Each structure stands twice: as C-alpha cells, then as structure tokens.
Structure 1
Amino acid sequence: MKNRQHSVAAILTALILAVPMTSAWATHRNDAEQAIAEAKAAHEKAAEANAASDETANMIEQAEGLMPSRQFTKAREIANKAKQQDTFAYEQATGAAKTDETAASEAERAIAAAEQARKKAASVDGEWRDTAKMIGEAESLAKSGKYREATDLAEKARRQGELGYDQAMHEKDADFPSYVTSWRQE
C-alpha cells in the first residue's frame, strides 16, 4: 500500500511539473498572428519601394492558411521567412543594405551547382530525400541576404547530389549475394 501511494505521488508530481512545460515549446496563436502581421507590414513597406515579390505574398497567404488547422509553429516560420525576404528587398531598394556582390554570386553559383548535381542524381534514380528541400532553403537564405549560409547549405546539397549519384551507380548492377541466390534455387 505504501509503495502505491509513493508511485501515485510520483506520477502526480511529474504531471504537475510536466503539464505547464508542454506549452513552452509550442507556438501560440498570438505568436503566429503577430509574425503574420509583421510579415504583412514588411511586405507593404517593400511594396512602397517597388521591391515586393509575389513569392512573399504567397508565403504570407500560406501562413494565414495554416491558422485554421492550428499549425501555428509552421505559420510563424513561413511568416518570418517572408518578413526577412521583404525586409531585405526593401533595404536593397532603398540603398540601406550594401549587397556583397562576391558573396551573392558565390551563393548563386553554389545553388546552381547543387541543382545540377541533384538533377544528375535524379537521372539515375539516386536523388536523396532532402536534397531538393536543402536547395530551396539555400535559395530562400540567398533571397534574405544570408549569402554565406546559403552557400554552405548549397554546398551540402551539392555533395548529397554527388553522393546520391555515386550510390545509384554502384548499386546499378548489384545482384543478390550468392548465399541468397543458392537458397532460392533449392
């Protein structure tokens, strides 16, 4: 009986401590709504400078579309990306941001090389799962002016494309091992 009371007390203590912490990691509706409002404001500011893009407008709409399904964390992430891109576009249009042309062209070359490696791997059914997603994230980072991060991510994606191609070519003529084929013949 005494052990049972201790285990019940331990469970209650754990629940009392754990339940308040569960909301700490989740994004609340207010946070997502605030991020969307900030993204809209940045988009309007970029539009005033003729620097707004349809892509960021679509991202904001996508974030708003996630709200009814209670995907607040994803909505906040998308809205923050849109805000970063519009803010950077506004700064470029008004001359506030000095673009490092070398870093920008390096990121562009790295992204193009990654896309080429991905297509080469895909041509032999060797494309790895997240390669295209990594390239998309690198493009998003470049649009936000984060050229160094975009270059690094594109290099990783390029390497994945190369490895995927190599793996597919090595497995191309692979057959079952002899111990498997001898079992099948019996």
Structure 2
Amino acid sequence: MAAPKFSPTAPTAVARAYTSPDHVPSAWMPDRPADIEGFQPVGDRLGSQGPDQGFAIKIANSLRSKLHLQPGEHPDDVMRGCLGVGLRRASLFSRAPVVHDLTIAYTVWGFMDTAPAADLVAMRSAMFEGLRHVGHHYVEARQVVDAVRESTLRMTPAQVQDAYASDWRSLLDV
C-alpha cells in the first residue's frame, strides 16, 4: 500500500513485520484470596451460577404470550419462578441460557398446558404467589427451583413434554 506524503517513514523504506515481544508473561493463576478454584460452590441458598444469565429474562419475556395462566396467577410471579428453573438447567450444562431452558421450566409447572391438572394448579399457585416481589421471596423462589428434579432438567424438551403428559409428578420432587 502506498504511504502518504505526511507519513513519518520514507516511501522506499522496508516494511516492518511482526516480531514477538522480548518478555512473555507467565500464565494466569487463580491465586488471589477470593478466587475460586474449579467449579462454583454448591449449597443451600447459593443459586445456580452461569454466564450471561440476564439473557434469560429476554427469553422468558418472549415466551410470555404462550403461557396459560389460571385466575389469580400473576405473569411476573410465573416468570420469576421459572426463570430460576431455566437458569439452573443452563448452569448444569455450563452455558448461557437458551429458549429450551425456559420452555422446559414452563412445561414442568404446566404453564404451557391449556388445561393443567387441578392439583398442579393448586400447588403451583401457592408456590409462585408473590415471587415477583424480588427482595422478599428469595427462599420461596429457591423452593420452586429445587422442586424440579435434576434428572428432569437433563431431559430434552420433547422428553419433558412426553413425561408431563403421562405423569407430571414424575418431573417434580414435591
């Protein structure tokens, strides 16, 4: 490429090529006091860590029009409870949330069903009530998440749909 006249190098000078730096820093190691070695810790009230979890809110909102709520159920309560389930599923696979995570969460709790079982509706109405008040119901939101079996979260959406249709109780620990 031609060099403009205001360029600090002469147009006839040999072009400079890439060279490695004289010093190569050592590999990074988690040696600071607060660094976690290995995977995130697991325990009561620690949640499910994973990358880009905020994207799950966008996914959950995009599925809102497909939900079938019963009288007295608030869509924000449903979203908050199922959001935790979807995030837990995504973290099991060490990845960011995808639409299937939230679809499974809504299916397990019967929100994708036009006519869910009456006993499921009664149970979920009590469990999801008031979850939209973020600062006050963390423990209740965790109970919704922990009620879904890990084996359920490892299923495909089609497997969850089939299991829900045959026996929804097999998907939950309640």
**More helix by percentage:** 1
Larger RCO: 1 or 2 (CA < 8 Å, sep 6+): 2
TM (norm. structure 1) is 0.27
